[in-house]
Chain A
């Protein structure tokens, strides 16, 4: 198992190099740079060039890239052009916000999506099934920014239960932390709940038709054991794959949600950086999220083995 994990991590290094290489090239190839954004549309070419020189953007592309890789190897992601801080500090400051948001949304997704999918499969073609499928369809169809605004109107403006936006750190007040993240997490999770419920339902229906389930029933096992032990374990393999993908989607979805709810997280950081062409921050953020996704995939692979005894790594 350990050898497998180590090999996987080693194999992911080229992926990370490729991601950073592509992002570095693409960002530098698209028109517009931080100097233009800082100077504004009315600046002369001469003024832009001067700012470019002061930011070190006049150096040859390959030289800039080599310097960036050299610094990354030493653990230095560089300094943000627009934020005035180190990229590492900018990420460390914002990671708790997006991390909290994604984890809460993931917990909601799993806690609601899996049971709802199982229930719909067990009561296939009933009113319960129709309700779950309908809710799932709604979740997949409703744009998250619209839902976010509607939640603000209902729970903040009309009912006055929750704040309209902003983030309270967990260390400052766990209750306010939860209140500040509740609506954003729901807005983010709804799509994933819909997806997960549909996948779970479809997989469960497939599993319930398998011979081993019929055998388990035939030998007189209680229904709860048939479902909970024999069926659900087999459902979990594809479901865990989807959960892994969901986590990635939650990170990208946070760009919209963090903007609507004014949460200073990674999503908003990357959006601001792209519009401002803050190259070091874009590079650092992509490297971080790519690393997180690589690790997440590894965890998903390891979970396969934990759930399915037929899967063994390292032999």
Chain B
């Protein structure tokens, strides 16, 4: 291993602490044009209609939600001032912050919140999170009421998740189709220019009134102040060009620095590395409807054979953590339940399980893609490890769009390589919906799993919900619904001139300044 995660963290920890302390925003310098180098193009700025991380990078600096997440991922108000929950847990009454303005100058009222939620119910890609809603009401200009058909303990978690966020826009946008939204929000930056495969330029919104209930940067909430005049998010796909741009100073902050480049930049006087551990969970879906993975013993054999260290080492070039959780450490629901099934790396036992399963050389089909190098590399290692226990394995490589299309066909694959980034970070409810009915990425329902999930989302007691989640995770491992390999570390880097930039799942450009 050329550069271990430990080396990297040891070399950068002090720097990160020094260079990214938020500090009182007032003491920071105003002005300047910040340039951020990002790896993927922004397909749309309609966050109701996008699951793209690149879209979030930009849009969550322009738009806000009723409730959002703080630095510890807890639910906090943003455009809402406060909320109240009725005794029967079916009515949520949100009082809105007053004096909040949209980028078009119009003051935000409950009519806008109502219209935005109604639009999300119609076109939102994750509109199923609002399935429990019976009625939405705006009784006065500053009050928004949500009535649920039945109690849903995870309601606030769902509506504050930022995978496909329920961003608030002017009411006139209600009837716009997905992808056709005018990019107007209430955030500290407003859109100036958007060239889809080139750059997005956002400029300080002078009418923005920071939330007085917060101090400093705190997740997507906080006391947000646009200190720089503008932020240009430049698409620089090629990692080498991104790093070169950072070295020359053309780019102030870049995302996704390759591990080898990080090693070189570690001692650079003008650059600080900002590793984001547990950024991405590398995994494969397991098809229970197609042989040979329709048999539990074969699935167990695969699970038992895998050496996660070798897989993650090759997949990530050394930037990873091994841990069994389907949540990231530090998340409220984090648990290592099922760890006895993780990273077993026992080929002899795996062979015995195959024999017990009556495996007779049926072909196992792995689908991976050429669009994400780490997924492809992981698949190559898994293929070899499974051949090592005597399985006949075929690896099909497609581009991402084709791989997605193939995933829905239960007859064409056994293991489908993927990753989850934001899902596990916002809590267990969004991420794990993939293996419960009706989503069922494994195609065959698991009634026990569905039962645990139903308890998980409805139990009003948080401690009990955590227990349900631990049981859920263990069941996923027991039945091998999902093969988790490890957590990838994403390395961001910034010029030292950048002050107040705190690494987070999505870059936040408020309270960030450019020093002299």
Contact = CB atoms under 8 A, between A and B. Distances in A.
Contacts of B50: 38
A192 B240 CA distance: 24
Interface in B157-204: 177-180, 195-199
A147 B448 CA distance: 57
Interface residues on A, range: 35 or more
A228 interface: no
B399 interface: yes
A31 interface: yes
B149 interface: no
A82 B44 contact: yes
A157 interface: yes
A74 interface: no
Contacts of A166: 234, 250
A65 interface: no
A84 B241 contact: no
A48 B401 CA distance: 13
Interface string B24-49: 00000000000000000101100001
A162 to B, nearest CB: 9
A39 interface: yes
A234 interface: no
A37 B241 contact: no
Given A54-B177, A164-B245, A264-B195, A42 B441 contact: yes
Contact of B248 (A39, A93, A160): A160
A262 interface: yes
Interface stretch (B211-219, B345-353, B404-412, B494-502): B404-412
A137 interface: no
A38 B44 CA distance: 10
Contact of B241 (A39, A260, A277): A260
B455 interface: no
Given A156-B248, A164-B248, A93 B401 contact: no
Nearest to B401: A32
Contacts of A160: 248
Interface string B225-268: 00000000011111011001101101000000000000000000
29 contacts: A31-B402, A32-B400, A32-B405, A36-B401, A36-B404, A36-B405, A38-B49, A40-B51, A42-B51, A43-B125, A48-B408, A54-B123, A82-B43, A84-B44, A152-B240, A152-B241, A164-B244, A165-B236, A166-B234, A260-B238, A260-B240, A261-B241, A262-B236, A262-B237, A264-B195, A264-B199, A269-B197, A272-B41, A272-B196
B404 A37 contact: yes
A275 interface: yes
Contacts of B236: 165, 262
Interface residues of B, number: 49
A268 B41 CA distance: 11
Nearest to A83: B196
Interface string A127-149: 00000000000000000010001
A84 B196 CA distance: 9
A275 B371 contact: yes
Contact of B238 (A40, A157, A259, A277): A259
Contact of B51 (A33, A39, A93, A153): A39
Interface string A82-101: 11110000000100000000
B438 interface: yes
Interface centre among B50, B123, B235, B438, by most A CB within 10 Å? Answer: B235
Interface in A148-190: 149, 152-153, 156-157, 160, 163-167
A165 B198 CA distance: 11
Contact of B404 (A40, A47, A145, A163): A40
Contact of B399 (A32, A43, A82): A32
B400 A37 contact: yes
Nearest to B179: A84
Interface centre among B44, B177, B241, B244, by most A CB within 10 Å? Answer: B241
Contacts of A167: 198
A248 interface: no
Contact of A54 (B178, B247, B400, B418): B178
A41 interface: yes
A308 B199 CA distance: 48
Given A149-B240, A259-B238, 12 more contacts: A33-B401, A33-B405, A36-B404, A42-B51, A45-B408, A85-B196, A157-B248, A163-B248, A259-B237, A262-B241, A272-B196, A275-B400
Interface string A41-85: 111110110010010000000000000000000000000011111
A165 to B, nearest CB: 5
B418 A41 contact: yes
A244 interface: no
A30 interface: yes
A51 B127 CA distance: 13
Contacts of A149: 238, 240-241
A38 B408 CA distance: 15
B294 interface: no
Interface centre among A42, A51, A157, by most B CB within 10 Å? Answer: A42
Contacts of A38: 43, 49-51, 125, 178-179
A31 to B, nearest CB: 4
Contact of B244 (A157, A264, A272): A157
A152 to B, nearest CB: 5
Contacts of A93: 195
Interface centre among A38, A45, A83, A164, by most B CB within 10 Å? Answer: A164
A42 B129 CA distance: 14
Contacts of B402: 30-32
Contacts of B237: 259, 262
B435 to A, nearest CB: 10
B439 interface: yes
Nearest to A264: B198
A67 B240 CA distance: 43
Contacts of B416: 41
B432 to A, nearest CB: 11
Contacts of B407: 41
Contacts of A276: 43, 401
B401 A277 contact: yes
B487 to A, nearest CB: 19
A111 B43 CA distance: 40
Contacts of A54: 123, 177-178
Interface string B110-131: 0000000000000101000000
B241 A40 contact: no
A44 B400 CA distance: 17
Contact of B250 (A44, A85, A163): A163
A177 to B, nearest CB: 15
Interface centre among A31, A41, A93, A269, by most B CB within 10 Å? Answer: A41
B244 A153 contact: yes
A36 B398 CA distance: 14
B371 A40 contact: no
Interface in A233-261: 259-261
Interface in B346-386: 371
B434 interface: yes
